[in-house]
Amino acid sequence: MQKEFSIIGKPVALVDAAQKTTGLGKYTDDLSLPGMLVGKILHSPYPHARIRKIDLTRARAVQGVVAIVTGQDAPTSYGILPIGHDEHALVVDKVRYVGDNIACVAATTEAAAENALELIDVEYELLPAWFDPEDSMKAESNLIHENKPHNIEKEYHHVFGDPERGLAEADYVAEARYMANEVTHAAMEPHSTLASFEFDPQTGKQGRLTVWSSTQVPYYLQHKLSLVLDMPMSQIRVIKPLVGGGFGGKSEVIPLEIIAAVAARAAKTPVKITYTREEVFWAHRGRPRTIIDLKTGVKNDGRITAVRARVVQDGGGYCSYGPVTILYSGALLGALYDIPNVQYDGYRVLTNKPACGAMRGHGTVNVRFAFESQLDEICAHLKLDAAAVRRKNLLKPPCVTVNGLRVLSYGLPECIEKVANASQWPVRRGRLGRGRGIGMACSHYVSGAANSIIKSDMPHSTVNIKIDRDGGVVVYTGASEIGQGSDTMTAQIVAEVLGCSMKRVKVIAADTDLTPIDLGSYSSRVTLMSGNAAQRAAEDVRKKIEQAAAKKLNCSQEELVFRGDLIWRRGAELENTGEQLRAQGRIEGQILRESVLQERKEQDARDHLSFEEAVVAAIDFSGTLTGTGSYAPPADARGGKFKGAGVGPSPAYSYSAQVAEVSVDEETGQVTVHKIWAAHDCGRALNPVAVEGQVVGSVWMGLGQALQEEMIWKDGLLMNPGLLEYRSPSSVESPEIETFIVESVDPEGPFGAKEAGEGSLAATIPAIANAIYDAVGIRLREAPFTPERVLAALRAQKSQKKVNMTEGVDPERPVSFREHGGSLCFRGKGPTRHPLDPAVREQSKAEQPSPVGGDD
Amino acid sequence: MALSEFQLFRPKTIQSAVALLAQHKGDIQVLAGGTDLLPSMRQKLFAPKYVLDIRGVEELKRIRVLAGGGLEIGALVTLSQIEDSEFIRRNYPVLRKAAMTIASPILRNMGTIGGNICLDTRCLWYNQSYAWRTSCGFCIKKDGSLCHVAPGGSKCWAVFSGDTPPALLCLGAEIEIAGPGGTRRIALADLYTGLGDTRLKIAKDEMLTRVFIRESMSGYRGAYQKLRVRGSIDYPLAGVAVIVKSSGRHAPVQDAKVAITAVNPSPMLVVGADHALIGRAVDEHIATVVGELAARTAKPLTTSALTPEYRREMIKVFAKRAVLEAAAG
């Protein structure tokens, strides 16, 4: 490998930036086919009900309606996890949340489809519903899924080391309950799917299916379509057009993706479904509300002796990635620092709400908020410096953590150093005067899961490269560009290995007919896994070029240098740069002009070749010029053997440290974040500007969860299913974010690279919480830190006249969930709804014990 | 969410606009900037057979300084125009400050002063899709007879969420309403019914055409303070406009007005605030007293995702701050 890179490590614009910014690029909803219909979905108005009857007569009569499908049209269950096949494209027996999918109308216009939805007559048998996870865990009857006793999707109990002894040996034990309310991805592009069947020319029957969809995981979509539609995978083509953000919300098969195909099959013509923003909130798969009971023992010098956590996640009505989420919460809890003794009890609980799933920082974020907050409390109690305590508990890599995670590179110490220096931590912490403060927190994340969710021996990423006589390099990868820079990363790695310019490289991605299998874009796996596969494929094809070039240049393959669109023998003096050579007309690779051929013949033995010349020589020599590469995580990075050990292990981990500076308005409770210093260890920054963008994006998303974003519920009804009331931060309150890239060069990563897209998020929330404590001395244990919560805590601190701003719940000491996070206040019984209202029905069935959660 | 079908009219004059209103009385909806109406139509809060797009009525797009003094603002003047008007900045700063806080720059380029004055009242239980409202149960304001905010009540509490009307109330603005019988002029304060569902005392065949501010109201210092969670985009969760006239920073107040928005079904002048201020030099204590008076006028309920208790507290704080800001000039 060359000492200096020619492509990687330099900031480059993303390869798809221009088509996105000029509007030329096509997202799924931009696509259209002849005869295409609009699909609209009928959603459940009830959180929990059995479906007795669906009558489509009136709806079918609406002009423009071509087909209506229900659960019976695709009764096979599916789910993203093999252990969680509990979903149907359209429900077959009962609905489990407000927004569950009942039927789909395919019609010539959106208006006709919507009119028909209103005329579908559904007879429901209402069932008691479960909204509070801790109530739900006590359920004996009216279970959400009959095969899940007590509505517990999964529970795990892990003990590493001897937590009992660790806590006994501690000089100080901190213990508290933390809560983080539910948030969602809020990707700019709503989900959209276009499905189209071809007709088999032999039989005239419906044949191959093509699906264009806004997905992070084309391969899983192909797999689930095959299952539910009962078609061989080979007959299904999934194409991912441009995707306007995923953040995990498109990392599994979303109902509309299958519904569109089922509707297209019934309508015998293409069907497109695009979710409204409200439907995106119902499809959800976001970060669950989480209760964390956390206990941390430390010695007087800040050395951590043990951690014990009980985590309950409010998972919604279906399994989704639930077991993975609850396992990540435990696996990553004890692996950022060197903690000798860890006990983890995790419960993933079903409730009658939209399913939670994977969201940026999957599983780690809420638990990290609790842990980093508690560490700050410990520092305050023992009068220790928060940076010093973190330094005292560092891992010593290469090592294996107490729960079996292999760590080879560990840039955390340098991350802490960077942000502490830049923020002048030692002289500013605790010294900014009342109302202003700084806080520190750290986080980490996996660079892809070492074990895939579908157990098999297949590689996790595969890449093919084809080079033709035009000198163009075409890379075929299943990795999904979702705005994170996947295509650009692939092009950079290939160009670096082949010593050619980026513009030669064309990346064809995420089309199951063309591109080899890749598990997709989730758990920050693409750079490490797909990047490794791309590097290997490029090295493979380079060997073939080397063979031909070595012959031409009369040297050994080892002596060749590939760089700047040229190939030369190491040591040879190059008179001309690539640009000049091109000007001499030596770029035509396919058919060389007579005059050029003549000129070449007249030349003496040459000491270099242009990239095209070498490519043409290689094709003349060996026929087609292709290369392949694949990546599977190494066996010793795949973790331990205990139940649940499969989740958490990764080939490499990213690390992040942050300092936030905030001020708190003590009259209003409003928190202003002035600046965030964020250092991220990404192994090696292949494209520094993209790394910075990912870190800034993570911090910004963390900022939203810390201060503003919260899904508010009432009887299972989402009160803020829109971007007006679900308040992601606007540019106005986005602080200056200063990023520092730390390069620990991991031996497992391509050129040493690890993940950059998720790891920083988790540190932002506790950094802000700790800064609020530094500013005004209140310890907020319930996120987000909305003005009313902050003000309630401030008033409690000053023992001022109590004003019930948060429904009587102290945000410093949250006890149980309020269904609406305290943001809606009702006197008495709250609103009365129409006669079919579950609450009304509850009253009329007074003999049954009320299982409904909430507090009104 | 599709827009339901409607017929679009694009009149060029007030006369033809009013004639169309009269002809299709009750089935027709006026569209000015469209920033509020179109999302609401998608949510099926309105399903008019006819839409009257008045953006072709050029004479309503002007800000005009009147010969005898004072100011005329056409109903179609955009909020950006208000923000950019040097005359308004110099003479009626409170109006500009309020307009600047509305939504986001892009929406202010489209949204109009007339639209802001006639803005539909808002409620967490009302500004939702048809499917959502089906699931929840329809309320008094639209399609039903329930109130989710004040259960058992028969009054609609949907909250008025315009930012400029409290400023205009302070300035004693008058409005011109055109109807089949010609135009009439009323005080802005008399436009609102105080109820979330009926909202405006304006007949179905009438429309707001102009706003007038007297010259005698120029030269007041002003402030507008708005409670919102985000620094942009959000509707007010509480808003306070204050104008103060005095000969100097520490001089006794000669005249003052305080008005609040987003905590009642209509914008309200705070009764007694002028008495508390006039004749005194503004200090923290007096500002706090005004805050208490404002909180007494405010009736925040569960119409938005911040608790009413918090919003009532904030009316106090924001009124105090607005008084201090206005007094400091």
State pLDDT tens for residues B82-111. 999 999 999 999 999 999 999 999 999 999
B37 touches chain A (CB under 8 A): no
- Give the C-alpha distances (Å, rounded to integers) separating A845 from A10, A127, A139, A833: 68, 11, 17, 16
State the nearest Cα–Cα gap between B43 and chain A, in angstroms. 11
**Hey, which residues 739-758 in chain A have their CB within 8 Å of chain B?**
none
A109 touches chain B (CB under 8 A): yes
Task: Quick: pLDDT tens for A539-584.
Answer: 999 999 999 999 999 999 999 999 999 999 988 765 455 444 443 4
Q: Tell whether B250 is covered by a domain.
A: yes
Residue A817 confidence (pLDDT):
60
Task: Quick: pLDDT tens for B71-82.
Answer: 999 999 999 999
Report d(CA A627, CA A802) in Å as an integer.
71
B92 touches chain A (CB under 8 A): no
State whether B98 and B181 are in the same domain.
Answer: yes
- What residue of B is the nearest CA neighbor of A667? B317
H-run or E-run covering B2: none
Please answer yes or no on whether A111 and B2 come within 8 Å at the CB atom. yes
Position A820 pLDDT exceeds 60:
no
State the nearest Cα–Cα gap between B15 and chain A, in angstroms. 33
A674 touches chain B (CB under 8 A): no
Q: Tell whether B308 is covered by a domain.
A: yes
How many CB atoms within 10 Å of residue A783?
Answer: 31
Set of chain A residues whose Cβ sits within 8 Å of the Cβ of B314: 668
Last residue of a domain, one of B216, B232, B248: B216
Residue A579 confidence (pLDDT):
46
State whether B109 and B252 are in the same domain.
Answer: no
Residue A177: what are its φ and ψ, rounded to 5°?
A: -105, 135
Residue A216 confidence (pLDDT):
98
State the nearest Cα–Cα gap between B307 and chain A, in angstroms. 6
- What residue of A is the nearest CA neighbor of B132? A45
Name the CATH superfamily, with its identifier, for domain A31-127+188-245+250-283.
Aldehyde oxidase/xanthine dehydrogenase, a/b hammerhead (3.90.1170.50)
Nearest by Cα to A181 from A720, A730, A759: A720
State whether B291 and B190 are in the same domain.
Answer: no
Q: Tell whether B148 is covered by a domain.
A: no
pLDDT band, residue A823 (cuts 50/70/90) = very low
Question: Measured between CB atoms, which of B2, B232, B309 is closest to A803?
Answer: B309
Cβ neighbourhood burial of A196 (10 Å; 0-12, 13-18, 19+): buried
Task: Quick: pLDDT tens for A422-432.
Answer: 999 999 999 99
Report d(CA B70, CA B218) in Å as an integer.
8
DSSP H helix total and E strand total for chain A = 22, 31
Residue A398 confidence (pLDDT):
96
pLDDT band, residue A853 (cuts 50/70/90) = very low
Q: Are A534 and A494 in contact (CB under 8 A)?
A: yes
CATH number for position B63 = 3.30.465.10
Residue A814 confidence (pLDDT):
79
A17-23+458-631 and A31-127+188-245+250-283: same fold?
no
State whether B181 and B76 are in the same domain.
Answer: yes
Please answer yes or no on whether B135 and A787 come within 8 Å at the CB atom. no
Residue A850 confidence (pLDDT):
36
ipTM for the complex shown: 0.96
Task: Quick: pLDDT tens for A78-99.
Answer: 999 999 999 999 999 999 999 9
Please answer yes or no on whether B231 and A45 come within 8 Å at the CB atom. no
Please answer yes or no on whether A807 and B307 come within 8 Å at the CB atom. yes
**Hey, which residues 18-57 in chain A have their CB within 8 Å of chain B?**
43-46
B233 touches chain A (CB under 8 A): yes
Q: Read off the tokens for B5.
A: 């079908």
Range of the structural domain that residue B269 is part of:
221-328
Across B169-194, average pLDDT: 97
CATH number for position B244 = 3.30.390.50
Q: Tell whether B65 is covered by a domain.
A: yes
User: What fold, for A149-184+285-451+638-788?
Assistant: Aldehyde Oxidoreductase; domain 4 (3.30.365)
Q: How many domains does chain B have?
A: 2
Q: Tell whether B10 is covered by a domain.
A: no
Q: Tell whether B35 is covered by a domain.
A: no
Q: Are A3 and A483 in contact (CB under 8 A)?
A: no
State whether B65 and B209 are in the same domain.
Answer: yes
The radius of gyration computed from the CA coordinates of chain A, to the nearest angstrom, equals: 29
The domain limits of chain A are 17-23+458-631, 31-127+188-245+250-283, 149-184+285-451+638-788
B contact test, residue of A114, A117, A124 with most B CBs within 10 A: A114
State whether B231 and B281 are in the same domain.
Answer: yes
- Name the maximum alpha-carbon separation found in chain A: 102
Across A506-514, average pLDDT: 97
Nearest by Cα to A173 from A371, A305, A338, A344: A305
State the nearest Cα–Cα gap between B295 and chain A, in angstroms. 14
Report d(CA A98, CA A797) in Å as an integer.
39
State whether B94 and B186 are in the same domain.
Answer: yes
Of residues B175 and A828, which shows the higher confidence score? B175
Residue A476 confidence (pLDDT):
98
Set of chain B residues whose Cβ sits within 8 Å of the Cβ of A114: 1-2
State the nearest Cα–Cα gap between B179 and chain A, in angstroms. 34
A823 touches chain B (CB under 8 A): yes
Q: For the structural domain made of A17-23+458-631, what CATH number should be given? A: 3.30.365.10
Set of chain A residues whose Cβ sits within 8 Å of the Cβ of B147: 831
Residue A482 confidence (pLDDT):
97
State whether B64 and B95 are in the same domain.
Answer: yes
Residue B250 confidence (pLDDT):
87
- Give the C-alpha distances (Å, rounded to integers) separating B15 from A157, B58, B179: 76, 13, 9
Across A465-484, average pLDDT: 96
With both helix axes pointing from N to C terminus, report the angle between A218-229 and A255-267 in degrees, rounded to the nearest 10. 50
Set of chain A residues whose Cβ sits within 8 Å of the Cβ of B5: 111
Q: Tell whether B178 is covered by a domain.
A: yes
Please answer yes or no on whether A45 and B306 come within 8 Å at the CB atom. no
Question: Measured between CB atoms, which of A717, A787, A832 is closest to B135?
Answer: A717
Sort residue A821 into left (φ over 0), alpha (ψ -120 to 50) or beta: left
Please answer yes or no on whether B128 and A721 come within 8 Å at the CB atom. yes
Position A587 pLDDT exceeds 50:
no
Position A443 pLDDT exceeds 60:
yes
Task: Quick: pLDDT tens for A626-647.
Answer: 999 999 999 999 999 999 999 9
B231 touches chain A (CB under 8 A): yes
Mean pLDDT of the residues in chain A: 91
Position A854 pLDDT exceeds 70:
no
Who contacts A488 (Cβ-Cβ below 8 Å, separation ≥6)?
A12, A14, A15, A16, A687, A690
Q: Are A47 and A352 in contact (CB under 8 A)?
A: yes
Question: Measured between CB atoms, which of A111, A725, A733 is closest to B305?
Answer: A725
State the nearest Cα–Cα gap between B312 and chain A, in angstroms. 10
Please answer yes or no on whether B134 and A45 come within 8 Å at the CB atom. yes
